[in-house]
Amino acid sequence: MCIYRPNANPQRVVAVSTPNVRKSYNCAKCPGYCCSYPIIPLNKRDIERLARYFGIGVREAKKKYTVPREDEPMTMRRKADVHFGRVCQFFDTEKRNCTIYEARPLACRGYPEVAHCGYYEFLKFERRLQEDKALVATTNGT
């Protein structure tokens, strides 16, 4: 689903290119770990795309959907989530998917860049270990 890569700062994701790789993960079966990154940056084009998608002005979209964090002038606003504490505002916390898929920002379009998603491997491992196919594995005991 999403397309970002953790860099030196694990709080942050960065946009990357999207090579053609055969995926070994299934976002449809994942509770959306990558949508819980605290910093999901947006660029000018992302805001324009969001504005078009919602039929509002660019300035309004920026104000409504973004907030500055650390050194990023525009990052996704977030909301509460029972599993991860906070997730992207556009994440459906019941269905566990993106509600603006066609309009998602660049940062969400290449992750995890490679054929494997570490989060998905972790999820599969924990579900197997706990013998619970619906488990939403976390590292904080929630």
Of 12 and 112, CB closest to ligand SF4: 112
| Site of tokens 């960065």 | 14
Cα dihedral 9, 87, 4, 138 in deg (nearest 10): 70
Q: In whole angstroms, how close is the CB of 109 to ligand SF4 at the nearest point?
A: 8
Q: Do residues 41 and 75 make contact, with C-beta atoms less than 8 angstroms apart?
A: yes
Residues that bind ligand SF4 (CB under 6 A): 1-2, 25, 27, 30, 32-35, 40, 76, 88, 90-91, 98, 100, 104, 108, 111-112, 117, 119-120
Q: In whole angstroms, how close is the CB of 22 to ligand SF4 at the nearest point?
A: 14
Of 58 and 97, CB closest to ligand SF4: 97
